[in-house]
Amino acid sequence: MTETKALLRALAGEVLPTPPIWMMRQAGRYLPEYRETRAQAGDFLSLCYAPDLAAEVTLQPIRRYGFDAAILFADILLLPQALGAKLWFEPGEGPRLDPVTTAEELAALRPTAAIHDTLGPVYDTLQILTRELPAETALIGFAGAPWTVATYMIAGRGTPDQGPAHKLRVEDEATFGGIIERLTEATVEYLSAQVEAGAEVVKLFDSWAGSLEGDSFERWSLAPMREITAALKARHPGLPVIAFPRGAGTRFEGAHEAIGADCIALDDGVTADWAAAHVQPAGCVQGNLASRHMVTGGEALVDETKAIVKAFSKGPHIFNLGHGITPDADPENVALMIETIRGTA
């Protein structure tokens, strides 16, 4: 029953004596069992689209660590692929897409209704997880927020400053706005299908929100996430939504209301004490241990973990990293973090 799931209780606003714990990218290359399964799949995209294997890697960190939530194993770029953008991964370099930068290229994308033809295996993965996860473990679905996904679609790859997307935004706002609109519409359908397949919570990752300045932050980061959140909550009353406008800095303040989210995920660019005073009064917060501690460990990991738990102890809090765990992390440091939070160290 959902009321026994610590993550859902925190998202509902309950202040728990021990915060629920999960990690962004908790299924990943730092785990030897993940590397074995990925080798079995052959490549990253094949792993994403193989429901049995994708469910297996989602379950691996749950078995190893007993996290309070599992997050669907997938990738934010599966959605533009489902819309018709060619997607591939260059070994050692990351994702590549055929760029979408003109009105003609935008018009050539598939209809939103067609995305499920490609994304069916993702929904199958969720259905497997609803059967296989422990009863106390919440299941999180996710998607990239429109701005972040658009930065990859426009550039055809990840970029250090999201420059191509910013250039299109300024020089051809009609096409840029059309890309955001298509992604907003498609993300609602994608996440709604994830909920129908078993996701109990959804998270929007706006990983490059911080590169938007002034009114552009509201218009292209917050507003699309607000539209997606409102549509999902209208279709699925009671659905909790976590939003992550990474790099927002002081603009994390007010984000609950601006997006309509139940929880705001925090990066480690703000301190826990500041966020407890300025963000947490509006609702649940998630975060925000620096990912480097999963590599370096030691007393610094223990001390910072304790400080974050203490800072957020007066309100609803989900413990997480400020960004995804990195491939060079030591699995033993993850165990130490959890033991510190749960008081078993």
Does the pTM surpass 0.95? The reply is: yes
Q: Give me the amino acid identity at 78.
A: L
Which residues touch 319 (CB under 8 Å, ≥6 apart)? Answer: 19, 20, 21, 286, 287, 289, 305, 308, 309, 341
- Binned at pLDDT 50, 70 and 90, residue 221 comes out as very high
Structure tokens at 18: 């021990």
Structure tokens at 236: 């699925």
Does residue 256 surpass a pLDDT of 50? yes
Angle of helix 173-197 versus helix 163-171 axis, rounded to 10: 120
pLDDT at 253: 98
- Binned at pLDDT 50, 70 and 90, residue 85 comes out as very high
Does residue 345 surpass a pLDDT of 60? no
68 among known catalytic residues: no
292 among known catalytic residues: no
B/e letters for 235-245, b = 16+ CB within 10 Å, e = fewer, are ebeebbbbbbb
pLDDT at 116: 98
Q: Which of 9, 30, 38, 123 is catalytic?
A: 38
110 among known catalytic residues: no
- Which overall architecture, per CATH, does domain 2-342 show? Alpha-Beta Barrel (3.20)
29 among known catalytic residues: yes
Structure tokens at 127: 């259905």
- Give the domain ranges of the chain: 2-342
Does residue 124 surpass a pLDDT of 70? yes
Can you tell me the distance from the alpha carbon of 75 to that of 56, in angstroms, rounded to the nearest whole number? 16
75 among known catalytic residues: yes
pLDDT at 223: 98
Can you tell me the distance from the alpha carbon of 139 to that of 239, in angstroms, rounded to the nearest whole number? 12
Q: Which of 34, 152, 206, 251 is catalytic?
A: 152
For 194, counting Cβ atoms within 10 Å of its Cβ (0-12 exposed, 13-18 middle, 19+ buried), the class is buried
| pLDDT per residue as tens digits for the range 47-72 | 999 999 999 999 999 999 999 999 99
CB < 8 Å & 24+ apart, contacts of 304-310: 305/337, 305/340, 305/341, 306/340, 307/272, 308/272, 309/19, 309/341
| pLDDT per residue as tens digits for the range 258-313 | 999 999 999 999 999 999 999 999 999 999 999 999 999 999 999 999 999 999 99
Residue with tokens 């440091």: 333
235-247 average pLDDT score: 98
Does residue 24 surpass a pLDDT of 90? yes
Q: Which of 75, 124, 172, 330 is catalytic?
A: 75
Structure tokens at 233: 């909550």
For 113, counting Cβ atoms within 10 Å of its Cβ (0-12 exposed, 13-18 middle, 19+ buried), the class is exposed
243-272 average pLDDT score: 98
Does residue 1 surpass a pLDDT of 50? no
| pLDDT per residue as tens digits for the range 129-183 | 999 999 999 999 999 999 999 999 999 999 999 999 999 999 999 999 999 999 9
